[in-house]
A and B are shown apart, each in its own frame.
Chain A
Amino acid sequence: MTYRDAVREAIRTALRADDRVFLMGEDVGRYGGCYAVSKGLLAEFGPERIRDTPLSESAFVGAGIGAALGGMRPIVEIMTVNFSLLALDQILNNAATLLHMSGGQFNVPLVIRMATGGGRQLAAQHSHSLEGWYAHIPGIKVLTPATLEDAHGMLLAALQDPDPVLIFENALLYNMEGELPAGAGPVDIAHASVRRQGRDISVITYGTSLWKALEAARGLTEKGIEAEVVDLRTLRPLDDRTLVDSISRTHRALIVDEGWRSGGISAEISARITEQAFYELDAPVQRLCGAEVPMPYAAHMEQGAIPQVATITAVVEGMVRPHG
């Protein structure tokens, strides 16, 4: 099965288990989802629960908030992260604030899914990685599943959460093949995960970059470097403990993030490492981020704008003296 199938399976499971759950968004029904995530669900669950919406991001995201307040468990799909900015008012000013503004009276159990990331030559209005931005906002949770198990289980966990949860699915991952463990269900959404152990450096990343970091780590073995790879999984709240524990073993940290460098999630992570694990460090924390430019169209330019296996490898080599 693919990552896409894993997300669909989670939606299907949720729709079957809980009649409060419904999916709405642009082209989720008749079209089958712009990334085919919801393909087939309209036939199975009907148009009341698989709702095609007009191109009105603010209205249907806000309607998701209202429906959640009204006792439903909506899953709202936004085609792509850049379009979510049309609904940013609803996400920030309403979803994230209502519980607090109402003195704890109105929680918003809403799940918003959207595609994120570059690498598909879709240029500067379809390719950015703004999940780090969203992680700035108290009141919401920000999940970035990189594996099939997380794509599936994080959605189920998000639906059990009393507060708004945003799930960022890197569009390059939809075709990734894998297996779901038998009996797969909701997964923990509070912790990062060490995906590969290593003694020399902690490469901290999430989403598509996780797979690049793992590939780089495999290659680095031949050069005598053992990189530990930490998958953040959740950008808000950040799991400081797992990061600090990893760095306490490796004493070096590289953060890999497709998002822009300035003011990004990598800056936040770097600051936390400095605050909490400064004396564990043998070298300055480094960051490998998206280039500070709107995403270009041309393939070679776009690839140059995003962290790659080769660039990760090179930065790690520069930070770690090979063990001889």
Chain B
Amino acid sequence: MTNRDHFLDLLHQMLLIRRFEEKCAELYTQQKIRGFLHLYIGEEAVGVGVMQALQPEDAIVSTYREHGHALARGMSAGSIMAEMFGKREGCSRGRGGSMHLFDAKLRFYGGNAVVGGGIPIAVGLALADKLRNQSRVTCCFFGDGAVAEGEFHECMNLASLWKLPVLFVCENNRYAMGTRLDFSHSVTDLSKKAAGYCVPASAADGMDVLAVEEAAQSAAESVRSGKGPYFLECRTYRFRAHSMYDPELYRDKAEVEEWKKRDPIPALIRRIEEVGTGENTAELERQVAKEIDDAIAFAEAGTWEPVEDLLRFAYSERPV
């Protein structure tokens, strides 16, 4: 794959996430999607960039803002949309919704909606790999809010102590819901916290997919080489509200506009134009629009799980 093709592939993925979520917001106002809906818009470069460094056998543990991670991992837009519609054809059979996307085949261990709660699971997945001598990486996404949770610190210590193959990816979007970084953290340079656990760390510009990709490749390489965990902080920004219920009283519109100037999608388009022959991205947009139309059609055509099945999946239906 040439540089240009690769850039176009990255652009395709970011555009898919962007347009998919714009559509989600629309469908939310139409009440097709209910519950909490946390949009990733603005942060696409992080998920897409990091995912480039992962192999099919690697595992991913994510957060409640995970549509982008799921799409970038290769989950079908249809199965995600159907999940948000609450349909049986959804990736979690409609039992999880927007915050709990899962895919066993892709080793996508969910959408965890308790901040920091997925981090110990990632450590355990990595422990299993280490005990079974598998050279796989477990990539754990979490936000700046999670870095204030005890579980983050417990897990950094444990993963470092046991030299576990975890790639910790902090998506620092500067707000834990509505609480700004400097109101949450005594040390706002989050990547510095890793030093207390002897975990190698770096910070990447989370608005630049190529920068994220490069940082993630090098971080994943470090983890894969058996040196133990790595902490990668990606500095990014959420363009939309925390969830659909958020009136955004805690930040200035001017600040949001300032960050939008660094929108990772136009930035990548400019890069493509620099290396390419000036081909426009209209064709890509058409392709993405079609994928999303198909996803919605799939979700609309989906079925409702019979309520008689309500009690299923509290316990396994067969022994292992």
> A residues near B, CB below 8 A?
22, 48, 53-54, 56, 58-72, 74, 89-90, 93-94, 98-107, 109, 138-139, 160-163
Contacts and interface: CB of A to CB of B under 8 A. Distances in A.
13 contacts: A54-B154, A59-B158, A62-B123, A66-B125, A67-B128, A90-B120, A99-B313, A100-B314, A103-B92, A104-B93, A139-B315, A161-B319, A162-B320
Given A103-B91, A109-B320, A69 B102 contact: no
Q: Which of B91, B119, B122, B127 has the most CB of A within 10 A?
A: B127
Given A102-B102, A104-B313, A106-B104, A22 B131 contact: yes
Given A67-B127, A103-B93, A163-B315, 20 more contacts: A48-B131, A56-B154, A56-B157, A62-B123, A62-B124, A62-B151, A63-B123, A67-B125, A67-B128, A69-B121, A69-B125, A70-B124, A70-B127, A72-B127, A72-B131, A99-B313, A99-B314, A99-B316, A105-B102, A105-B103
Contact of B319 (A22, A71, A72, A160): A160
A108 to B, nearest CB: 9
B177 to A, nearest CB: 18
B118 to A, nearest CB: 8
Given A64-B124, A103-B90, A94 B112 contact: yes
A65 B102 contact: no
Contact of A107 (B127, B131, B138, B320): B320
Contacts of B138: 66
Contacts of B95: 100-103
Nearest to B158: A59
Contact of B155 (A59, A65, A71, A93): A59
Interface in B100-139: 100, 102-104, 109-112, 114, 117, 119-129, 131-132, 138
The 3 A-B pairs of least Cβ separation, nearest first, read A66-B124, A62-B120, A70-B128
Contacts of A69: 109, 121, 124-125, 128
Contacts, number: 155
A102 B100 contact: yes
Contact of B314 (A53, A54, A139): A139
A3 B319 CA distance: 28
Contacts of B129: 70
B253 interface: no
A58 B316 contact: no
Contacts of A62: 117, 119-121, 123-124, 151, 155
A107 B312 CA distance: 13
A56 B156 CA distance: 11
Contacts of B317: 104
A100 B315 CA distance: 8
Nearest to B305: A103
Contacts of B320: 107, 109, 162
A86 to B, nearest CB: 9
A280 B317 CA distance: 34
Given A61-B120, A62-B151, A102 B96 contact: yes
Nearest to A51: B162
Given A62-B123, A67-B127, A69-B124, A100 B313 contact: yes
A98 B158 contact: no
A63 B158 CA distance: 9
Contacts of A71: 128, 132
A103 B92 CA distance: 4
A83 B95 CA distance: 31
B123 A59 contact: yes
A245 to B, nearest CB: 24
A99 B155 CA distance: 23
Contacts of A59: 119-120, 123, 151, 154-155, 157-158
A60 B158 contact: yes
A101 B100 contact: yes
A205 to B, nearest CB: 26
A72 B131 CA distance: 9
